[in-house]
Amino acid sequence: MVATPLLEPGLLRRLEALALQVRRSITGQVAGERRSRRYGRSVEFADFRSYTPGDDFRLIDWNAYARLDRFLLRLFVAEEELPLSVFVDLSGSMDWGTPNKALVARRLAGAVAYVALAALDRVRITVFAQAPTSGGAPYRGRRAAAELFQRLQSFPVGGTTDYARLVWPIGRQRPGMSVLITDGLGQAALDPALAALQRARQEGAVLQLLAPQEIDPDWSGDARLKDAESGEEREFTATPLTRASYLRALEKRSTDIAAAANRRGLRFARLSTGQPLEDMVQRTLRQVGLLR
C-alpha cells in the first residue's frame, strides 16, 4: 500500500515561493536567511566600528581608511536561521469532522513547516493532547521535509486537550516563531500556553481549525451527545434555539482566543477544514501576516 503524501508536490513547489514573515529580528544558531540582531556575513550593510586586532581584516573598509586614515570595520546584518516551532493539537476533538480536523491540522503544520524548511529555517514539531510529544530533533532544509511529514503523520490522535502542559515545552524554545494549530475547543483555557509563548519571546500565530459541521451544525432532533475527548454523554434535543446558543458559545470561544492571542502579540486566524489547504496558506495566513 502506498501511503498518501501529506502534501502534493505541486503544492510544495508553490509553498517555496512563500516565506514566514517575522516582525522583529531573531537569533539563530546557524546561518540562515533571516536577519539577525547579531552582525554577520550577508550583503546587507549594517554599521561601522573601529578595527580591533583579531578582527577579520577582510572586512576593513579600505575606502574609509583612505579618507579617514582609520581602520574601520564594515559590519553586515547576520542572516541567521529562524527557529520555528509548530504545536499541533491532536486531541480527541481534532479527530472529527469532514474533512477531518486532525488530517487538515497535520497538512497545515506540514505546509507551514515546509515554508520554513525551504528558507533553511529550523523547524521543531510538537504535537499535544493531554501531554506534549516532541516531533524529534529540529528539522532543517528541504531534504528534511519528507521525514518531518512522515513524523507528523505518525502521531496518533486522541486524549483530552490540556494547554497548560504546553507551558514547559514552550519555555524551552529559543526566541523565534511559533505556530499553534488547535480547534481551541478543549475545556482547559488556552491562555497559559499563550502566556508562555509571550514569555519565551515567540512571535507567531494561533490557528483555530474547525470543521464545517462545527461552524454550521447540520443535525437536529433528539440525540445522546458524546464528548469526543472526555467521553462524557448527555441526552439532548437539538432545536433552533439550542443551535443558536451553541453558535453563540462557539463564537465567544473564538473571540476569546483571538483576544488572548492579540494580547500576547500573536496573530490569530480561524480556519475551516472545508477550506482548501492552498487557500488557507496563500490567502488566510498571508492576510494575518504569518506568511508573505
The closest of 90, 130, 137, 139 to 112, measured between CA atoms, is 139
Give the shortest CB-211-to-another protein separation in angstroms: 8
User: How far apart are the C-alpha atoms of 148 and 117, rounded to whole Å?
Assistant: 10
Binding to another protein by residue 168, rule CB under 8 A? no
Least distance from another protein to the Cβ atom of residue 162, Å: 15
| Minimum CB–partner distance for residue 240 and another protein (Å) | 5
236 binds another protein (CB under 8 A): yes
Vertex 274, ends 273 and 277: CA angle to 5°? 65
Whether the upstream peptide bond of residue 99 has omega within 30° of 0, thus cis, is yes
**Alpha-helix runs per DSSP H in 45-143:** 62-68, 101-118
The single residue among 120, 185, 207, 257 that binds another protein, judged by CB under 8 A, is 185
DSSP 8-state code for residue 283: I
Which of 1, 30, 66, 241 contacts another protein by CB under 8 A? 241
Measured between alpha carbons, how far is 181 from 69 in angstroms, rounded to an integer? 57
Q: Is 163 in the site for another protein (CB under 8 A)?
A: no
User: Of 139 and 163, which has the nearer Cβ to another protein?
Assistant: 163
CB 110 within 8 A of CB 6: yes
Residue from the set 239, 255, 262, 287 that interacts with another protein by CB under 8 A: 239
Q: Which stretch binds another protein (CB under 8 A): 87-95, 142-150, 200-208, 276-284?
A: 87-95
Judged by beta carbon, residue 55 or residue 251, the one nearer another protein is 251
C-alpha torsion sign, points 37, 38, 44, 47: positive
| Number of residues in contact with another protein under rule CB under 8 A | 39
Q: How far is the CB of 44 from another protein (least distance, A)?
A: 47
* Integer Cα distance of 71 and 22 in angstroms: 34
Across 51-81, where does the E strand assignment appear? 72-80
Contact 27, 80 (CB under 8 A): yes
Q: Which is nearer to another protein, 62 or 246 (CB)?
A: 246
Grid cell, residue 139, equals 528539522
Task: Select from 17-25, 63-71, 90-98, 110-118 the region that touches another protein (CB under 8 A).
Answer: 90-98
Residue 146 engages another protein in binding (rule: CB under 8 A)? no
Interface positions, 190-229, toward another protein (CB under 8 A): 211, 214, 219, 222-229
**Does 98 interact with another protein (rule: CB under 8 A)?**
no
Sign for the pseudo-dihedral over CA of 12, 17, 22, 23: negative
Q: Select from 151, 110, 128 the least CA-distant residue to 278.
A: 110
Burial of 113 from C-beta contacts in 10 A (0-12 / 13-18 / 19+): buried
Minimum CB distance to another protein smaller for 146 or for 189: 189
Q: How far is the CB of 209 from another protein (least distance, A)?
A: 11
Does 256 bind another protein (CB under 8 A)? Our answer is no
Q: Which one, 61 or 89, has the nearer CB to another protein?
A: 89
Residues that bind another protein (CB under 8 A): 92-94, 96-97, 101, 183, 185-187, 211, 214, 219, 222-230, 232-243, 245-246, 249-250, 253
